[in-house]
Amino acid sequence: MKKPLQRVLGAFVLLILSLATITLLAQDADPITASGSGIALPLLQPLVNVSGVELTLETTVTGTSAGLEALCAGTTTIAAATRPLSPAEEEACQSNNIEFMELLVGHYILALIGNPADTFYTCVPAAGLNQVFAPAAGSQTTNWNQVTASSGEVFPDLALSVAVVSDDNPAFALLDGIISGDGIRSDAIRGTTEAVINSVSGTPGALGVVDLQSALAAVDKVKLVNIESVGQTSGCVSPSSGTVEADIYPVANELYFYINRAQAETLAPFLAFFGTPDFVAAVESAGFSAPMPPTIANNMQVISGEVSGRVFSREEVSYQIPPTLEGAVTVEGSGSQLQFYQNVSTGMTGQYPNFNVTFNMEGDIAGYRRLCNGEADMVVAISAMSEEQIAACTANNVGLFTQPMGTQAVVLLGHEGDNFSLCLTQEQLATIWGAAATDTIENWQAIGESFPDQAMTLFGIREGNYVTDILLQQPTGPVLPVRIDTEQSTDPLYRAAATANVPGALTYMTWSDYQRVLANAQTRIQLVAVDGGNGCVQPSEAAILDGTYPLTQSSQVVISQKALAKEPVKAYVWSLFTDTNFGGLTVNGLLGLDFNILPALRDTLMAEFEAATIAAATAEITPEPESTGEPEAEATPAAENTPEAPATTQEAEVTEAPTATQEVAATEAAEATAEATEAGS
């Protein structure tokens, strides 16, 4: 379980307190009071300075909780925070008629840095952080071959040294907050940010911790190291505002300003600055990471009064899962992104032992039939409902709520200069990669007369992988089995590098993995266009989303509106769209998913919950028409030909997971300790 991030901030807060009250003088101006987090509050002064707006500020570091308490009591205008305000704090604001503006103004992000000569790794798994930095690691982990790699391979025999910033630095607090035990390994080199960077840059095998902005400024000396996101279904994640706002990078503080709207007119010139390019530059110059453009746009909507109250933390209060939640949810359909849905159910079962989710993944056709017959609560589908299936639901008085869940795409990479593989038809792909080609098609000339006498080398994944299924889906007919005589690797960077080294080579991967290849600056490869019957289409985000690129698979969740009246179904559906859980889906590179849809989506869910509850109450006093039985809905050709995963029926495993309430309570306790330390000083 995470330790409270503020626990080790005592020395840092004392340092800030020595500069606690800062006054920016302006003639005949009433002071604007600001208080709160010792991490977030120091951002306020640089923003005022760069904005050029004359304000008299009186700022006092009190800690996040005390700052929010003062805001809701009406004794401060701006509260700087490293977490959203709690439901209890919001209730205090409402009781005192304090309307607040919630602004997400930046991020303080921890970054791991490594020596550029260490090419054997680009990512440290989350479990590896404890192996490297925990107090016991000083005696147990002194060589890279003792660290568990993300892919399972063994790192080389190379001495491991660790460098971290001193404990009065917020980056230290962030690291210590996710490491087991008290503090960091005793043999770590300690010092300033500059000292850590210099130590790592001059020592092969060294791994260091600094803030992201400092790391980015030193990319000529050190390399950024990704972190495998905790609890997600795939992949290592790079530090950035985008991955933090997607809740998939695990080590960062989000920085909030909560502002009393009663002072909006006085602050209007300053707040207008938040929508300018200079705002981004000011945040980054102050040592923080700026919000993403959609977040800045949301901030400006808050400032203009278009939206009010919670915007970035709406999930805190919109729907609360009952602490005594019990009951079952039945999920049917295809196996698309099944791991994501299982992860959510597993986390919930850990919190609510009398709750469970059963997965019967026997395909879209069976799933839709059972949904319409009232035998399933929801369907995870990779095909749209046919008219016959919709009619079956209508006949049984089963209303539906449908939510798109993104589009996955598979792209092919060829060896640069292989003009014969610049565009391939789906029929040719089936010929190349299908099981019938095993040990028979080993030369490009076997594909057709237009291809040269060139040896064919294929770098694949494995049979049964969903990426392979998308590759081998056919415009007509079922998904083909894949040939097994290819060189197989689950590492897309390896497959891309291998393809670059071999003329006549070909490989495939997801669009998101291709973005990793691009970020890795791989040369001597080329994208392959695909002809699905309407000409060659080069893969691009636009072509994937508009459906013109053929090697794609979209998914959706279809939920019975009757089921939405049940508390277990409400709780599970709501949990799918929390910031934390939703990150487990977006990390898989599904296009069309944007975290900025979540506030509006949660509003939609609340409306659906209410409508379902009212309909259920009405149904109790109004007899329903007789059921039409169990009509077998015929699938459209598109549905019949959609690849589906093998049937899987299982219940979520039980694991321990902290509730949101527990996390808030832990943070509150940490801040209270820090504030007590300050008071006693």
* Cβ–Cβ < 8 Å for 589, 515: yes
For residue range 561-590, list pLDDT tens digits in order: 999 999 999 999 999 988 777 777 766 678
Hey, do 109-245 and 327-399+561-647 end up sharing a CATH topology, with the first three levels equal?
yes
For residue range 456-479, list pLDDT tens digits in order: 999 998 766 788 889 988 766 667
* Cβ–Cβ < 8 Å for 676, 9: no
Q: Which residue has the higher pLDDT, 560 or 12?
A: 560
pLDDT > 50? residue 643 = no
For residue range 209-227, list pLDDT tens digits in order: 999 999 999 999 999 998 8
Q: How confident is the model at residue 634, as a pLDDT?
A: 40
- Sorted by sequence, the CB contacts under 8 Å of residue 295 that are 6+ apart come out as 104, 241, 245, 312, 596
First to last CA, the chain: 30
* Cβ–Cβ < 8 Å for 41, 257: no
Q: Which residue has the higher pLDDT, 237 or 486?
A: 486
Instruction: Please say whether the dihedral angle defined by the alpha carbons of residues 387, 389, 395 and 398, taken in this order, is positive or negative.
Output: negative
- Sorted by sequence, the CB contacts under 8 Å of residue 341 that are 6+ apart come out as 331, 357, 359, 380, 576
**If pLDDT is split at 50, 70 and 90, which confidence band does 398 have?**
very high
- Residue 195, amino acid: A
Mean pLDDT across 250-272: 94
Rounded Cα–Cα distance for residues 590 and 412 (Å):
17
CA dist list (Å): 375 to 336, 372, 389, 396, 558? 20, 8, 15, 12, 14
* Domain locations in the chain as residue ranges: 5-104+250-316, 109-245, 327-399+561-647, 408-552
pLDDT > 60? residue 673 = no
**If pLDDT is split at 50, 70 and 90, which confidence band does 150 have?**
low
**If pLDDT is split at 50, 70 and 90, which confidence band does 347 have?**
confident
The alpha carbon of residue 228 and the mean position of all alpha carbons in its chain are separated, in whole angstroms, by 12
Best CA proximity match to 594, nearest among 572, 579, 574, 575:
579
* Cβ–Cβ < 8 Å for 460, 482: yes
| CATH 3.40.190.10 is held by the domain 109-245 | yes
pLDDT > 60? residue 27 = no
Q: Are strands 123-124 and 223-228 parallel, antiparallel or unpaired?
A: parallel
Q: Are strands 78-81 and 32-36 parallel, antiparallel or unpaired?
A: parallel
**What count of other Cβ atoms lies within 10 Å of the Cβ of residue 138?**
15
Best CA proximity match to 578, nearest among 234, 262, 320, 207:
320
Ordered DSSP codes for 29-84: -PPEEEEE-TTTGGGHHHHHHHHT----EEEEE--HHHHHHHHHHTS-SEEEESSP
Q: How confident is the model at residue 174, as a pLDDT?
A: 84
Residue with tokens 């944007």: 594
For residue range 159-207, list pLDDT tens digits in order: 999 999 998 888 888 888 778 777 889 899 999 999 999 999 999 999 9
Which of 155-159, 521-525, 527-531, 596-600 is predicted with the least confidence, judged by mean pLDDT? 596-600
- Residue 572, amino acid: Y
Q: Output b/e per residue, 171-206; b: 16+ Cβ within 10 A.
A: bbbbbbbbbeeeebbeebebbebebbbbbbbebebb
Q: Coil, strand, or helix at residue 343?
A: helix
Mean pLDDT across 301-322: 82
Rounded Cα–Cα distance for residues 74 and 40 (Å):
20
CATH of domain 5-104+250-316: 3.40.190.10
Quick one: three-class SS letters along 281-306?
HHHHHCCCECCCHHHHHHHHHHHHCC
Q: Where are the beta strands (DSSP E) in 441-551?
A: 457-460, 487-488, 505-510, 525-531, 536-537
pTM above 0.85, yes or no: no
pLDDT > 70? residue 293 = yes
Burial (CB count within 10 angstroms: exposed 0-12, middle 13-18, buried 19+), residue 53: middle
pLDDT-above-90 percentage for the chain: 57
**If pLDDT is split at 50, 70 and 90, which confidence band does 231 have?**
very low
Mean pLDDT across 22-41: 72
Rounded Cα–Cα distance for residues 234 and 587 (Å):
7
Mean pLDDT across 337-361: 91
Q: How confident is the model at residue 319, as a pLDDT?
A: 79
pLDDT > 50? residue 665 = no
Q: Coil, strand, or helix at residue 346?
A: helix
CA dist list (Å): 547 to 116, 335, 471, 512, 592? 41, 21, 15, 17, 12
Rounded Cα–Cα distance for residues 374 and 371 (Å):
5
Quick one: three-class SS letters along 76-142?
CCEEEECCCCCHHHHHHHHHCCCCEEEEEEEEEEEEEEECCCCCCCCEECHHHHHHHHCCCHHHHCC
Question: Which of 134-148, 238-252, 503-517, 610-624 is predicted most confidently?
Answer: 503-517
pLDDT-above-70 percentage for the chain: 82
Average pLDDT value for the chain: 83
pLDDT > 50? residue 294 = yes
Two tokens, residue 226: 């990704």
Q: How confident is the model at residue 4, as a pLDDT?
A: 39
* Cβ–Cβ < 8 Å for 565, 613: yes
Best CA proximity match to 640, nearest among 229, 299, 364, 304:
364
Q: How confident is the model at residue 646, as a pLDDT?
A: 39
CATH of domain 408-552: 3.40.190.10
CA dist list (Å): 618 to 171, 610, 611, 623? 55, 12, 11, 9
pLDDT > 80? residue 541 = yes
Domain spanning 327-399+561-647, CATH class: alpha beta
Q: How confident is the model at residue 173, as a pLDDT?
A: 83
pLDDT > 60? residue 358 = yes
pLDDT > 80? residue 127 = no
Q: How confident is the model at residue 599, as a pLDDT?
A: 76
Q: How confident is the model at residue 520, as a pLDDT?
A: 85
Q: How confident is the model at residue 155, as a pLDDT?
A: 83
Best CA proximity match to 616, nearest among 560, 558, 577:
560
Rounded Cα–Cα distance for residues 612 and 569 (Å):
11
The alpha carbon of residue 381 and the mean position of all alpha carbons in its chain are separated, in whole angstroms, by 22
